[in-house]
Amino acid sequence: MGLRTVKSMSAPVAPGRWPLLGHTFAMARQRADFTTRLRQHGEVVQVYLGPLRTYYIASPELTHQLLVAHGPKLRKGRIFDKVRPFLGNGLAMVSGPEHLRQRRLLQPAFHRDRIAQYATIMADAAAELIDSWTPGETRRIEADMQALAATVVSRSLFSTEISRDDIERLRQDLFLILDQTMSRSLIPGFLSWLRASANRRFDAALARVHAFVMGFIADWRRHGEDRGDQLSALLLAEDEDTGQRMSDQQVYDEVVTLLTAGMETTARALAWLFHELAEHPDIEAKVHAEVTEVLGDEKPAIEHVVRLNYTRQVVKETLRKYTTWILMRHTLQDIELGGYTIPAGSEVIFSPYSLHHDPETFADPERFDPGRWEPDRMKALPKGAFMTFGAGARQCIGNVFAETEIVIVLATIAARHRLVPAGPVTSAFASAPYPTSLPMTVQPR
């Protein structure tokens, strides 16, 4: 009887709802401050985006349940319907059986043996970057990390055949496409002439990326051999049931997905990592000592990564503190969560950022404390506490790639240099907090 009563109740509505506008302004203005506070009102809270009712999931345990136990009853949220026409049908976009099929086809590109090869690409790219630095020089580290992440993800896809100029152009084009996709999807079609010149730049960028990637695919088809890169893995992957391979268009969509998913995220984490090290000389000293002990005179490689225990904790703490604000899902069936029924056809929101900044899970959450990731302390964390890569069947397919990249780049740089703050740091908060200016001076160790 008691249980039935609970289930028939509705989840509480977040305070501060305006007629028609709902919570939209509070969300837009306060961002993570708004979502982090919602847990005080319950584990499931109704939030209105304009007139649209959504369900916000506020606890790690329920977020984990949502993504793992209820995963098959969900598809990507409505926002994806709007960006799909521009970004295609890559893995991050599709749902259901189509997602399962594509996920299996992409898995070989992230196989352990291949990650070991990409580790060499990562170490070489980081070494090239620091070779271009001169001691005492002040660098914009956020820009260096963007270029570095773009190099790593492009060379992992297309081997080392891709030139520096091509990588930089690809990076800029993809940045423009992502940046404008959102505004294009929000503006009604009949008003699009207002943005004629932006539209021309968008179309030109899209055409360049298309021609460039299709050129690589056509070239590969002429030779047809495995070059050890991700493009080869994608083109060679066969559907287990039908034996079919992907069409050029599907491979193109996946390449664009991997490029866009793998650049900004990793660049942002790397930039914040160097910022935190500079703010915490004690942590920096421990990383330097570990890197020296584990590497000796060797170039960082995959076998070092598992031995760089403290360094990995530092990376994980960076990924906790600086992460994606919100992600969304759409329910295909009713789901029971925390004693409430979320009806089929609802939009569900969860926030890796707010979960990571919830003092109930992480005491003193603004403090940068790699000790949180010591094995014993980690064991005490609830399921769903670490959501940087999401969870369940849609967990980031590039998680091991990304963590390997961050550790290898950090080890390569830390073996030779310290980066010292050289002026005010500015940042912005969009889909995640990101540094807009991170000037640092290069000091040889």
Binding-site ranges for ligand HEM (CB under 6 A): 91-92, 103, 153, 257-258, 261-262, 265-266, 269, 324, 327, 388-390, 394, 396-398, 401-402
What angle do the packed helices 196-223 and 164-186 form, to 10 degrees?
Answer: 130
DSSP H or E stretch at residue 328: strand 327-331
Pairing of strands 138-140, 74-76: unpaired
DSSP H or E stretch at residue 336: strand 335-337
What is the distance between the alpha carbons of residues 415 and 288, in angstroms, rounded to a whole number? 7
Residues belonging to the chain: 445
Q: Which is nearer to ligand HEM, 12 or 71 (CB)?
A: 71
Q: Which is nearer to ligand HEM, 82 or 416 (CB)?
A: 82
Q: Which is nearer to ligand HEM, 348 or 419 (CB)?
A: 348
Q: Which is nearer to ligand HEM, 44 or 402 (CB)?
A: 402
For the CB of residue 415, give the shortest distance to ligand HEM in the complex, in Å.
Answer: 22
Instruction: Output the six-digit token pair for 219.
Output: 């070239």
3-state secondary structure of 63: helix
Residues 6+ apart with CB under 8 A from 289: none
3-state secondary structure of 227: coil
For the CB of residue 434, give the shortest distance to ligand HEM in the complex, in Å.
Answer: 12
For the CB of residue 238, give the shortest distance to ligand HEM in the complex, in Å.
Answer: 19
What is the distance between the alpha carbons of residues 96 and 98, in angstroms, rounded to a whole number? 5
Q: Which is nearer to ligand HEM, 62 or 442 (CB)?
A: 62
For the CB of residue 153, give the shortest distance to ligand HEM in the complex, in Å.
Answer: 5
For the CB of residue 200, give the shortest distance to ligand HEM in the complex, in Å.
Answer: 29
- Indicate the residue whose CB is closest to ligand HEM: 398
Q: Which is nearer to ligand HEM, 230 or 361 (CB)?
A: 230
Q: Which is nearer to ligand HEM, 84 or 394 (CB)?
A: 394
Q: List, in sequence order, the alpha helices (H) in 296-346.
A: 302-305, 309-321
What is the distance between the alpha carbons of residues 273 and 176, in angstroms, rounded to a whole number? 25
What is the distance between the alpha carbons of residues 269 and 282, in angstroms, rounded to a whole number? 20
Fill in the DSSP letter of residue 94.
Answer: -
For the CB of residue 137, give the shortest distance to ligand HEM in the complex, in Å.
Answer: 27
For the CB of residue 174, give the shortest distance to ligand HEM in the complex, in Å.
Answer: 13
Q: Which is nearer to ligand HEM, 84 or 418 (CB)?
A: 84
Instruction: Output the six-digit token pair for 129.
Output: 């970057």
Evaluated on CA atoms 181, 183, 186, 187, the torsion sign reads negative
For the CB of residue 138, give the shortest distance to ligand HEM in the complex, in Å.
Answer: 26
For the CB of residue 39, give the shortest distance to ligand HEM in the complex, in Å.
Answer: 20
Q: Which is nearer to ligand HEM, 435 or 442 (CB)?
A: 435
Backbone φ, ψ for residue 19 (5° rounding)? -60, 140
What angle do the packed helices 399-414 and 141-158 form, to 10 degrees?
Answer: 130
**In terms of Cα–Cα distance, which of 8, 150, 28, 55 is closest to 346?**
55
